[in-house]
Amino acid sequence: MNTFPEVRLRRLRRTPALRRMFDMTMPGPEKFMWPVFVKEGRGINEPIDAMPGQSRMSVDVLMKELTRVVDMGIGSILVFGLVDGSRKDASGTAAYDERGAVSQAIRCIRKEFPDLVIASDVCVCAYTSHGHCGPLTASGDVDNDAANTVLARMAVSHAAAGADMVAPSAMMDGQVAAIRKALDAEGFQQTLLMSYSTKFASSMYGPFREAEESAPQKGDRRSYQASFGDLRQALRESQLDEAEGADILMLKPSLFYLDILARLRDRTDLPIAVYNVSGEYAMLIAAAERGWGDLGAMVRESTMSLSRAGADLIISYWASRYDEIFKKG
């Protein structure tokens, strides 16, 4: 094998034109999905302190914001709902209320932006009085099978409102099979199922839980979210969801888990989404605000790492700032 001075790799990156020739292309706006938080009511636009540039919005405000985001070419949206505390209960029954904020948002988006791909989060943590992702047993554990019943009903309600895609995030065993069966039984065979197939019990969700008002009142979610110390079990989670009928797999969080993403890419031909989560978003903003790096450059580099490792779809709060971050770069 020839070595220096015969081999000079700098020749391949000597000019901007040469670098552009060989570099991967930065993902376009059609590869981004914007996560949004919708509340019941009108005229609501509550900035989220821990997530600068993002807000909790009522449906009417969201529709105005979407005009700008769709004009940038963003291809899809992921809808999360909030409900007044007085409507939360032990089972999260407000999660499948057809008059709730998520179903209202889906119907309005479908009418005003018919070409936008609409996904909905399917989990009840924001709807339960205890903040866990399903009804609890007498001992205080999440009742896995009872949770699946609620999740399936929630998914069907979103499909009925017009969602193209439902995205179960509760990490219950068998949730994909339960939801697929319920969708098919109700005539929603064409509704895509994007599973949060490997979702870790992560320290990077803090800003999201503030935004969604969904932190557990007691305990944590380590008994049902994946452990970041167990690689094999993390991969099995996604393999099982594929076997149960998921159309798209998802890894969450993203930046600390590129090894998982690369291994998963090697093991499946399904599309893979990654969720560039709230803590990752806030982390880069905080670094930039302290003068520790250029925000746009850090976002572009981190985004390329996700695409390079195998992501087909990037769920990211940067989506609503696409032109600012990516076109200037």
Catalytic residues: 199, 252
Structure-block tokens of residue 221: 């979610």
Residue 190's region, left for phi above 0, alpha for psi from -120 to 50, else beta, is alpha
Run of H or E residues at 69: helix 59-71
Cβ-contact 253, 200 below 8 angstroms? yes
Nearest-angstrom CA–CA distance, 81 and 104? 10
Locus of tokens 């302290």: 290
To the nearest 10 degrees (0 to 180), the angle between helices 175-185 and 144-161 is 40
Could you tell me the end-to-end alpha-carbon distance of the chain, in angstroms, rounded to an integer? 37
Cβ-contact 135, 117 below 8 angstroms? no
Which residues are paired to 118 by β-bridges? 77
Work out the widest C-alpha separation in the chain, in whole angstroms.
73
Locus of tokens 């594929």: 242
